[in-house]
Every structure is written in structure tokens, then in C-alpha cells.
């Protein structure tokens, strides 16, 4: 619900530089540093909020000059979905509604709220920091890779007071509703309501300004960072994606996952357990992906995260080959690129559920992905992973319908499907073998 409201606010302002905040866990203020990374194997941009601010990088102390004002008074939004069929996009995930009679889903606020903005005076800051020197050790701590970009939060948009968000579902007859990986099925008349209160001064959206560091000197770019920069990189190339194109990509990459079969049997449970723990913390998973990337480049690595160190130690004591480490790297990269709660659900699911998903992936490659009659509970209607099974079973027509209404240009549905399939395959290969 929070992500939907954040997105609604961003759309209302119509500013291309605004990035909606998809989780309340991301708390940020002005000058917070953000790392913008692009995955090597997929056209996916990832924003990583850093526990560091621009002043932390500078040799001289400074405080930002900023303005604060009401952006919109008594803002209120309500979104309603009624009846219909097909596949649509919503909340950054899959939104699917299949009905035999009437279904209504209403998202909105319980009361209006003033939307505030706080924005840095960039011109003043540029003049003040012109030719300023950065702390080399602090920059090194950021562990920026060659293609990574560094930016700082230039503007935040937040609520002036606590606001209650609610979601109401009313169903009459037989219906199945899927909304961002949540699925509900019902018969007869039923009404459900979910609500929670967003605390005061929660960041709903933010904008970024990119910075460059060269010869230990800071340069603040003139143009704000916009999502259009990401979209133009690949959206045209991905606009006509088909299931065949997805399967071709899978066939090229799945061979790189096969060395996972060579993981030592005794270490598999511990590796899977530690990976599942890391996936619960998106920042830790990103750090693991960066650590594995540095290892592949034969760079000395000293991860600051205890969980990441534990995972790397398990790999090291396994005395595995470079091919196996590269396979682990590919799997971790796919899990890190998946949005929201998808990766935690996959890494924590049962072997039986994973086995059925793996069979569906095999069916996708053969052009015959179809849900079997008997399914584990998480894959049944209303199950936590039903979205994954339905996504793997899409045909070209449904994929096109999904693409037409998709509102995440940085992660096309074709790429999402590929990431899901590779994650399922990799996790399946890491499962402990059944003893005879």
C-alpha cells in the first residue's frame, strides 16, 4: 500500500526526476548518498541507500542551504479496480484480476494530508564546494565499481502528519484476485479491509543529483538524475519481447549455473540457510553480490557484513572451483535484481514447491508450461508464490498484455521472467540431494 501511495504522489507531480520510495524501511534525508548500479547481465538499475552523507566525504565541514514548503495541501488519492479480466501491473509487481462476477479493490487514504518538500539550494552548494577535496579513505569505503554512479538526495517529499492508508476488497460470487504477489480467492459475499498508519515525515519520493570524483576533487553535475536515462538504455530493445527470446536467454545463461551441482554436499544446507538470511536484508544481498564480483576480478575483499563474511567463508572452506563461484555469483545477482519480497519467498520455500517451479521452468523452455492439477499450498490460489507459477506460465499474448500496462520501465516483464527462472534453477541446483 505504501508503495502504491508513493507512486500515486509521484505521478501527480509529473516530475521525471522524482523516484518513488517503495518501502518505509528506506529513511533518508537531504544529502544522503545513493549508489546507482547496473547489473552486468540484465538491464536493471538498482538504487542503494548508503549509510553515508555527502558531508561525510568532504574535508571541510558544511551544512546544506535548503528550502522547505508545502507542495500540495490536503492531498488525497483513491484507486479502485472493478471487475474485468486479463493481466495488469501495479505496485511494482504483478496485479492480476480474474473474475466470474464482481470484484472491487479500493486503495486510498483515510483522510487528506499536506505533502511537504525539502530541497537543497544547488547553486549555493556548487559555489561553496567548487574544487573542494574529498576524503580518499571515505570514498574507498563506498566500494564503487567501474559502472556504478554516485548521487546524493537533492529533494525529499514527505507527509506533514501521520496518515492512515487502507485497502478494501469487496467480493461477490467466485473471484481470484492477485495484487503484487498477494492472491485471494473467495466464494459468496465477503469484504476485507487492511489499514496501517504511515508515521509523520515519512519519505514518499526523492530526487537525486549525480556527483563525480576525480583526482580527489568533487564535481556536482548540473542536471538532476532522471529515470529516463535508464529507460532510454534499453526500453526500445525490450519492447517486443517474446517467450522465445526469454528462453533463448535462459539457455545461454543456465549453462553457467550447472557447476552448482558440484557444491560439496555437507555445505549445501549451511550455504542455503546463510543465503536465505542475506536475502531478507536487501542491502546485505547487494553487498554479497559486490563481494562475489570483486572476487571474480581477483580483488582483495574484506566484507564488513558478518553474514556476508560467513557466506564467503563457507565457499572458501568448500575449496570450490572458479566455475562454481561464478555460478554462485550468477544466482546471487539474479536474486539481488528481483524486486520486493520475491527473493525472500523463493529462498525460504520448501523443496517440493521449488521442484514444481523448476518443472514449470523446464516446461517454459519446451513451450509447454502448464500448471499441474496437484500443487503445493504456496502455488495454489491464494498462495504466496502463486504469482511465480502464473508468471512462468505466461504465453506471448499474456506477456504482451502485461507489457502494455507495465509501469516499471527499469525492469521489463521479460527480464523479470528471466530473473525468476534463473533464481528457481539456481536454488534447485543448490538443494541437498535426497539420500537413497
Structural domain boundaries of the chain? 2-232, 240-430
What is the average per-residue pLDDT within 112-133? 88
Query: What is the Cβ-side half-sphere exposure of residue 369, based on CA atoms within 13 angstroms?
Result: 23
| Cα distance between residue 404 and residue 222, in whole Å | 34
Q: Mean of the per-residue pLDDT values for the chain?
A: 77
DSSP 66: E
What is the average per-residue pLDDT within 128-146? 88
pLDDT of residue 24 exceeding 80, the answer is no
pLDDT of residue 364 exceeding 50, the answer is yes
Q: Which residues contact 48 (CB under 8 A, 6 or more apart)?
A: 34, 35, 36, 37, 283, 286
Question: For helices 306-317 and 282-296, what crossing angle results, to 10°?
Answer: 40
Give tens-digit pLDDT for 288-335: 988 888 776 655 555 667 889 889 988 887 778 889 999 999 999 999
What is the average per-residue pLDDT within 233-248? 62
| Cα distance between residue 319 and residue 263, in whole Å | 9
Give tens-digit pLDDT for 97-117: 332 323 344 455 556 778 889
Report field, pTM of the whole predicted structure over 0.75:
no
Q: What percent of the chain has pLDDT over 90?
A: 29
pLDDT of residue 29 exceeding 50, the answer is yes
- Rank 199-208, 387-396, 406-415 by mean pLDDT and report only the highest: 387-396
Q: What percent of the chain has pLDDT over 70?
A: 71
Closest by CA position to 336, among listed 52, 89, 44, 4: 44
pLDDT of residue 240 exceeding 60, the answer is no
| Cα distance between residue 49 and residue 34, in whole Å | 5
pLDDT of residue 16 exceeding 70, the answer is no
Confidence grade of residue 355 (pLDDT, cut at 50, 70, 90): very high
Contact between 125 and 220 under an 8 Å Cβ cutoff? The reply is yes
| Cα distance between residue 188 and residue 175, in whole Å | 9
Confidence grade of residue 83 (pLDDT, cut at 50, 70, 90): very low
Q: Residue 159, Cβ neighbours under 10 Å: how many?
A: 21
Give tens-digit pLDDT for 57-81: 999 888 888 999 988 787 766 554 4
C-alpha cell of residue 330: 550468477
Per-residue model confidence (pLDDT) at position 89: 34
pLDDT of residue 84 exceeding 50, the answer is no
Amino acid at each position: 500500500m505504501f508503495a502504491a501511495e508513493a507512486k500515486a504522489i509521484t505521478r501527480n507531480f509529473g516530475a521525471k526526476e522524482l523516484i518513488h520510495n517503495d518501502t518505509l524501511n528506506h529513511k533518508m534525508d537531504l544529502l544522503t548518498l545513493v549508489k546507482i548500479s547496473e547489473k552486468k547481465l540484465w538491464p536493471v538499475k538498482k538504487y542503494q541507500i548508503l549509510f553515508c552523507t555527502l558531508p561525510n566525504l568532504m574535508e571541510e565541514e558544511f551544512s546544506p542551504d535548503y528550502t522547505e514548503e508545502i507542495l500540495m495541501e490536503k492531498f488525497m488519492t483513491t484507486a479502485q479496480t472493478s471487475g474485468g479480466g486479463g493481466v495488469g501491473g501495479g505496485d511494482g509487481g504483478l496485479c492480476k484480476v480474474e473474475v466470474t462476477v464482481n470484484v472491487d479493490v479500493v486503495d486510498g487514504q483515510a483522510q487528506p494530508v499536506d505533502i511537504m518538500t525539502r530541497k537543497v539550494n544547488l547553486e549555493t552548494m556548487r559555489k561553496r564546494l567548487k574544487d573542494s577535496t574529498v576524503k580518499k579513505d571515505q570514498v574507498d569505503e563506498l566500494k564503487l565499481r567501474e559502472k556504478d554512479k554516485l548521487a546524493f538526495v537533492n529533494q525529499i517529499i514527505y507527509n506533514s502528519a501521520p496518515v492512515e492508508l487502507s485497502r478494501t476488497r469487496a467480493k461477490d460470487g467466485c473471484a481470484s484476485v492477485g495484487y503484487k504477489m498477494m492472491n485471494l480467492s473467495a466464494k459468496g459475499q465477503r469484504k476485507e479491509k487492511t489499514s496501517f498508519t504511515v508515521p509523520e515525515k515519512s519519505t514518499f519520493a526523492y530526487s537525486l543529483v549525480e556527483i563525480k570524483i576525480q583526482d580527489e576533487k568533487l564535481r556536482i553535475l548540473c542536471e538532476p538524475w532522471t529515470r529516463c536515462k535508464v529507460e532510454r538504455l534499453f526500453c526500445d530493445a525490450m519492447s517486443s519481447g517474446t517467450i522465445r527470446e526469454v528462453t533463448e536467454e535462459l539457455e545461454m545463461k543456465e549453462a553457467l549455473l550447472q557447476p552448482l551441482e558440484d557444491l560439496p554436499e555437507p555445505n549445501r544446507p549451511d550455504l542455503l540457510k546463510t543465503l536465505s538470511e542475506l536475502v531478507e536484508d536487501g542491502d546485505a544481498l547487494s553487498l554479497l553480490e559486490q563481494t562475489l564480483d570483486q572476487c571474480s576480478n581477483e580483488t582483495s575483499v574484506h566484507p564488513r557484513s558478518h553474514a556476508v563474511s560467513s557466506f564467503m567463508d563457507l565457499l572458501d572452506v568448500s575449496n570450490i572451483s572458479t566455475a562454481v563461484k561464478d555460478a554462485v555469483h550468477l544466482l546471487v545477482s539474479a536474486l539481488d535484481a528481483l524486486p520486493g519480497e520475491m527473493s525472500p519467498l523463493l529462498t525460504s520455500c520448501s523443496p517440493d514447491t521449488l521442484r514444481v517451479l523448476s518443472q514449470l521452468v523446464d516446461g517454459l523452455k519446451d513451450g509447454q508450461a502448464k500448471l499441474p492439477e496437484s500443487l503445493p499450498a504456496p502455488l495454489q490460489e491464494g498462495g504466496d508464490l502463486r504469482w511465480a507459477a502464473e508468471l512462468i506460465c505466461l504465453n506471448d499474448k499474456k506477456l504482451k498484455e502485461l507489457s502494455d500496462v507495465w509501469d516499471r520501465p527499469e525492469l521489463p516483464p521479460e527480464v523479470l521472467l528471466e530473473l525468476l527462472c534463473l533464481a528457481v534453477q539456481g536454488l534447485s541446483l543448490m538443494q541437498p540431494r535426497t539420500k537413497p
